[in-house]
Structure 1
Amino acid sequence: MDSHTIAVVGGTGPQGKGLALHFARAGHKVVIGSRSAGRAEEAAAEIRARVGSAVDVLGLDNKGAVEAADAVLIVVPWDGHEELVAALAPVLAGKLVISCVNPLGFDKRGAYGLDVEDGSAAEQTQRLVPDAVVVGAFHHLSAVSLWEAEGPLGHEDVLVVGDDRDAKEKVAALAATITGRPGIDGGVLRLARQLEPLTAVLININRRYKTRSGVSVSGIPA
């Protein structure tokens, strides 16, 4: 497995911190990004405490984290996403950018997918940073499961969408550090329009059955 320096923008949040934990365990250098470098370093310290001080995890502000990395995960709430990505566009250019963002709304009836002018969060990122290679992945993984698991989430698959096949293969390989097997190529980037709101279905399933549901695709050769 190739080793990467991975920035996790939004790495102080539950899902970002859980993804960072698994990448660090797998031997990747991880840089937690946050608007506050202090908060980022606090999250990095939590990961070092879980995995061991020998792992290469540090916290920086978002710009510094992106500059230090060759692959960047965007794991932030939809509210404020466009402003954040636009501000980071100069340092995201030329990078592999992995969008994990789910544009969701919530009301008394539960979670639901929002209509996005650009089609999806991933496509919005591509519009704002046309010189980046954008891939959508990791949308459906439970933040709690990511943080609590001591090993791979073997019951789940990571679906990967994008327009660059080589980039999708890199992200599929990264997915194996989470689930124990490569991610599944789900098609071109515009299909993030289907992947992102599917998270709302899982949230409502979790609410109904008091569980942590995920996505598992059958019929794929080993």
Structure 2
Amino acid sequence: MTDQTGQTRYRVAVIGGTGPQGKGLGYRFAKGGHDVVLGSRAAEKAEAVAAEVRERLDGTAAAGSVTGLANADAVEACDVVLLAVPYDGHDELVASLPLAGKTVISCVNPLAFDKRGAHGRVVNGGEGSAAESAQELAPDATVVGAFHNVSAVLLWGDDEFLDEDVLVVGDVVEAKQVAMDLAASVTGRVGIDGGKLRLARQLEPFTAVLISINRKYKTHAGLRITGLDAPH
């Protein structure tokens, strides 16, 4: 639906909504006027984190609602679903969710860590990604990849917007537009269409590069795309 300003207002289930990334994105979406349902394995835990987000939003004009439900109930209540879960256990969880007919946004990063730091895990012999796996597991949903590279610390921080861009990949233009619209709640501008869903194979492990930069320079690095006319 649209609000009084003509902005599309989404109702978003955040699966993994009690983790740092999910909670931070849920907070930003709600701050931007969207309604958010945080999902968790336990509804009580989801509602406790939702209360924390609502407290943070207290006094924010035109903020959306924030509630907490068990994962499957959160999905049932929304048309848009954000997957913000660890890659370990990802496939089993996605397969268990009622995602048919939903627009699904994956920000899952298959990463591993060793003595040399973070690096991308190989998915499907290099011919796949978490986002593509989600699409295979939920063929009646429409999956896009987005929000892979935003910092959970900054999402929960005090800056009005993050000084970076959100890249969105997918095979269906209308579904990508949903993620691009939601990106405006995070960066103050719509996201950037980065191409087809298979390019999640590059976006997901690139987060390891940012982790390395953060470790070296003691910061929370993001991505900015130059050469585009603003607004995107």
So what's the TM-score if we normalise by structure 2? 0.92
CA contact under 8 A between 1:112 and 1:200: conserved in structure 2?
Answer: yes
Q: Could you say which residue in structure 2 is the equivalent of 1:65?
A: 74
1:24-35 mapped onto 2 (5 Å cutoff): 24-35=30-41
Q: What is the aligned partner in structure 1 of residue 219 from structure 2? A: 211
Q: Residue 39 of structure 1: which of 32, 42, 45 is its match?
A: 45
- Where in structure 2 are there 5+ consecutive unaligned residues? 1-6
Of all paired residues, the percent bearing the same amino acid is: 63
Q: Distance in 1 between matches of 2:198 and 2:64?
A: 36
Please show how residues 1-222 of structure 1 align to structure 2 within 5 Å.
Answer: 1-52=7-58, 55-88=64-97, 91-117=98-124, 119-153=128-162, 155-222=163-230
Instruction: Note the C-alpha offset of 1:28.
Output: 1.0
Q: Aligned partners of 1:145 and 1:6: how far apart in 2? A: 20
* 8 Å CA contact 2:32, 2:64 repeated in 1: no
CA RMSD of aligned residues (A): 1.1
Q: How far has the Cα of 1:150 moved from its partner? A: 3.9
Distance 2:184 2:9 in 1: 13
Write the distance in 2 (CA, Å) between the matches of 1:216 and 1:95.
Answer: 29
Find the residue that maps to 1:119 and give its secondary structure. coil
Secondary structure of the equivalent of 1:174?
A: helix
**Partner Cα separation in structure 2 for residue 58 and residue 181 of structure 1:** 26
Structure 2 distance, partners of 1:159, 1:25, is 20
4+ residue runs over 4 A deviation: none
- d(CA) in 1 for partners of 2:185, 2:54: 17
Moved more, 120-129 or 168-177: 168-177
Q: CA deviation at 1:170?
A: 1.8
Is the contact between residue 48 and residue 55 of structure 1 (CA under 8 Å) also seen in structure 2? no
8 Å Cα contact 1:36/1:60 also seen in 2 = yes
Q: CA deviation at 1:55?
A: 4.4
Counting matched residue pairs gives 219
Amino acid at match of 1:119: G
Distance 1:149 1:79 in 2: 31
Deviates more, 1:78-87 or 1:53-62: 53-62
How far apart in 2 are the matches of 1:172 and 1:144?
Answer: 21
More helix by share: 1
